[in-house]
């Protein structure tokens, strides 16, 4: 596992482990209250290039960014658009960082940068929807 020198974290895990992490994250989101950030995960499927110390193949990499929205009133449609914009920018940044930290020449990817952004934004939108719904219950 390799960690980049910036605020986000680069992680390499197997697909089954990734599914377990996603399941746990979804459960913790439902329990959390007063969360004022969205977690944007930029994914990248790669050809098997390495294994863990236990011999498990590494076939997935991602970089995570947190997007704050404490400054936004999500009952206002303009602020919802601003949050959507922030999520997309975080996804683009994460995918660009993946390309820089894990270049295609060393870690051949199955995904394009465009696919990376689309998946990252799509996965984060459930968090955005939940935040908007919570703000409208107040």
pLDDT in tens, 49-106: 667 788 877 667 788 999 999 999 999 999 999 999 999 999 999 999 988 888 877 7
What residues does each domain of the chain span? Answer: 9-137
Q: What is the DSSP string of the chain?
A: ----SSSSEEEEE-HHHHHHHHHHHHHHHHH--S--EEEEEEEEEEEEEEE-TTSPEEEEEEEEEEEE-TT--TTSHHHHHHHHHHHHHHHHHHHHHHHHHS-TTTS-BSS-HHHHHHHHHHHHHHHHHHHHHHHHH-
> Is the entire prediction scored with pTM above 0.75?
no
């Amino acid at each position: 596992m390799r960690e980049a020198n910036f605020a986000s974290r680069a992680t390499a895990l197997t697909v089954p482990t990734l599914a377990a992490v996603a399941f746990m994250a979804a459960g913790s989101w439902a329990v959390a209250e007063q969360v004022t950030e969205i977690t944007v995960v930029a994914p990248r499927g790669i050809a098997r290039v390495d294994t863990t110390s236990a011999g498990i193949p590494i076939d997935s990499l991602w970089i995570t960014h947190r997007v704050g929205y404490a400054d936004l009133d999500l009952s206002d449609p303009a602020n919802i658009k601003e949050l959507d914009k922030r999520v997309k920018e975080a996804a683009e940044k994460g995918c660009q960082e993946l390309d820089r930290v894990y270049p295609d020449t060393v870690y051949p990817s199955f995904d394009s940068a465009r696919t990376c952004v689309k998946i990252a934004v799509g996965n984060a939108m459930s968090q955005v929807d939940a935040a908007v719904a919570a703000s409208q219950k107040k």
